[in-house]
Amino acid sequence: MYLVRLLYLSKATGGLGTSGIEKLLLSAQRNNSRAGISGMLVFNGEYFLQVLEGGRSEVNGLYQRISADPRHQELLMLQMDEISERLFSDWSMAYVPSSSLTRELLLRYGVSDEFQPMLMSNHSCLGLLTALRAPLAVV
Ligand code: FAD
């Protein structure tokens, strides 16, 4: 069983308020703990950027389920690599709201101070996610 990391972005279909996100996260954290998957989800009300880490078949299966979810569209897989260690092992699914996307961080990894993951390279997306780990509480 190989350990892999999958990175993708997508666009919310709309109408996903705070309670919708909370529901999604609760279910993700429950399912991911069971499947040995860790990761992080960033959402600014318009775009999702998510990293998933775990066994190759578990991560593949989850990505297929996520791809069919009507709460988002225009999924773009950015990266799927075999890895030797996890970067997000502390979280079954950490959540980063737009308030944590500071101007300084966005300008460090992107071309503007807006969160536009489709205009960021795969490396910049992973760099941003990695930088966002530090202030998070462990879930
Ligand atoms: P439940 O979460 O209980 O949902 C039951 C069914 O209802 C599912 O088919 C679900 O798609 C659908 N559903 C629930 N709420 C809504 C709604 N508001 N609108 C439309 N359909 C709805 N799942 C994970 O397990 N791990 C993850 O890391 C993860 N990340 C996600 C990231 C994003 C951006 C999105 C949009 C979804 C994510 N999901 C994740 C959810 C995933 O797509 C599946 O919905 C979920 O895995 C199904 O879990 P469940 O069987 O426990 O069903």
- pLDDT digit string, tens, across residues 18-29: 889 999 999 999
Look-up of token digits 């919708």: 20
Residues having CB closer than 6 A to ligand 1 are 10, 20, 24, 27-28, 31-32, 39, 41, 48, 50, 62, 65-66, 69-72, 93
The per-residue pLDDT for 16 is: 85
Whole-angstrom distance, CA of residue 5 vs CA of residue 38: 9
Mutate to test the pocket of ligand 1, among 21, 27, 73 (most ligand atoms within 8 A of CB): 27
Please give the model's pTM, rounded to 2 decimal places: 0.93
